[in-house]
Each structure stands twice: as C-alpha cells, then as structure tokens.
Amino acid sequence: MSDNRSQRRRVNLVGELSESVDSGIYNERILILVFASMNWDIRTLCQTASVNRKLRAVARRILWRELCVYRAPQMITALTDGSPSGRIGGGWQAMAKLMFFCNGCQSTRHFQVRESASGHFVKTSRFSKTSGRSFLVKKCRSDLLYVSDPCEHPTGSDDLGLFRGVFWGFMKSRTRASLIRRRVELEEGAKCPFCRARVWSMTAARLIPKSAARRLGSMETGLEYFVCVNGHLYGACWLVPLSSDEGEEKDGDDEYEDSSEEADQRFDGGGYFHRGNQIVINGCLNYGLTS
C-alpha cells in the first residue's frame, strides 16, 4: 500500500515539474520579453505560432497584437482609437497578415488575369492614409483608410499590381453605409484573404473613384478591389509603364496630400523604428499567419 502511495507521489512530482517547465514556455510575460529582445522578428513569431496549439493560442491572444503595435505604432493607434490593447476588426492575426503578406491574385468576374499570382511575404511595403483617401469616393472621404503601394508582379507584357488596406471603424463608415444603402450583394464564393470574411466588390458597387487609378498608376478600366465586412481591402490593377520623365512628375492628386508625420510611418525588418514615409517589412516564411 505504501509503495503505491510513493509511486503516486513520484508521478505527481514529475507532473508538477513538467507543468512548471511548460508554464515558462507558455507564460505570456516571458514570451513578450523574449520577442521584445528580438525586436519582434516576424519569422521567429511565425515559427513559434506553428509549434503547437498552446503557443498558437498565445499568439492569437496577445503576440500578434504586440507585433502590430511595435511595427506600426501610429497606424495601429489610429485604427484602434488610441487603445491598441483592445480589439481590432477581423482580429490581430488578420491584421498582422495584412501588414506582411501580399495575397496574390486570381481572375474575377470584373478582372481577368492569364495566370494566377501566388501570395507571398513582402520585402517592402508602404501603408498610407494619404493614399487611402484616393480610394474613397467624394462622399466617403471622411472615412479613414490605410492602403499599401502596389506589389508589382511582372506578367510578361503588363505588370500586375496587388495592393491591400484597412479601414478604421468600418462598421460606422460612410463606405459601408453606401454599400448597404445601394443593397450591394456580397460576392458569391469570395472571401477575404486575411480574415476569411465575405466581401463586397467595389467595382460592382460602382464605388471606385478615378483618383484610385491615378494613385496606383493604372488604367481606370484595369482596376478592381474588394472590401470585407471587417474592413479589410485588397485588390489588383494593371500598371501603366512610366517613362523617366513621367516618373519625376508630381502626383496630380494634390487635394489628397497630407504633409503631417502621422500620414505614414516606416520600419525595417530588423524592428528598428523610424518616422518617415514608408513601412518596410521583411519576411520570408509562411508560418503562423494562415487562418
């Protein structure tokens, strides 16, 4: 009888020691300190979130949020009403994926491509609320929208430009109100590549202004983008080749220019933050960001 009790004590002791060791691995404070010491390296976080369910849960609960806040503090502060510790539309994992991942492109009913473009991590990307204004029709320009510069995909003849963005407070935005008022139907079979929610085609809704094509450097008829119910935007366009003289000309969309420091911001893949006009993101492994 005493031998059985001793054996049970030994088993319980081993279990307690194992739980104690594991608690350090899954402790949120410890993980935050570890990733902060690595300047929130996206590759390491993606690999960590792929280890097992517990670490994936910790990443969903807090680590993706901390990554976004560290990499784009001004943009995240604007998107969360100054409370980056709260929630964000579609979740923080989707926000991290939108920041770091070009979603690729397939043919749609309004935009045809010869070959599908695969999604990939981006080396460089710039998100700007100044650019975002160009994607809003006149009556919706009070909405706050951040949009990236197009990621260029050579196709042999014309270059394909893929871009993405995110609205602040989309549920109360004028853009969403316009979609509801016009009774625009959600696209059949299409889902947001970042949060997997259903989407509206802004082409079908006739809510794509001419300024969007000018901002992207594309033809008005060679452009389409979608907005999901959580306020994520993604789209594609055919980029018009520019001569050296055209590339030096100032953008004609002067009414949208914003010279404030808060319009854009930039950071590099090493995590060193800088003020400026660009967000620079380095990443290479597709781990942990997929839904």
pLDDT tens per residue, range 235-276: 999 998 765 554 444 443 333 334 343 445 454 443 323 233
Q: Where residue 22 falls among pLDDT bands split at 50, 70, 90? A: low
Q: For the chain, give the percent of residues with pLDDT over 70.
A: 74
Burial 33-61 (b: 16+ CB within 10 A, else e): eebeeebbbbbbbbebbbeeeebbebbee
pLDDT of residue 64: 94
Name the residue with higher pLDDT: 98 or 158: 98
Q: Which residues contact 226 (CB under 8 A, 6 or more apart)?
A: 187, 190, 192, 199, 200, 201, 202, 233, 234, 235
pLDDT tens digits, 23-78: 667 788 899 999 999 888 888 898 999 999 999 999 999 999 999 999 889 999 99
Q: For the chain, give the percent of residues with pLDDT over 90.
A: 51
What whole-number distance in Å separates Cα of residue 273 and Cα of residue 74?
A: 11
Average pLDDT, the chain: 79
Please give the model's pTM, rounded to 2 decimal places.
0.77
Q: Is the pLDDT of residue 224 over 90?
A: yes
What whole-number distance in Å separates Cα of residue 139 and Cα of residue 76?
A: 25
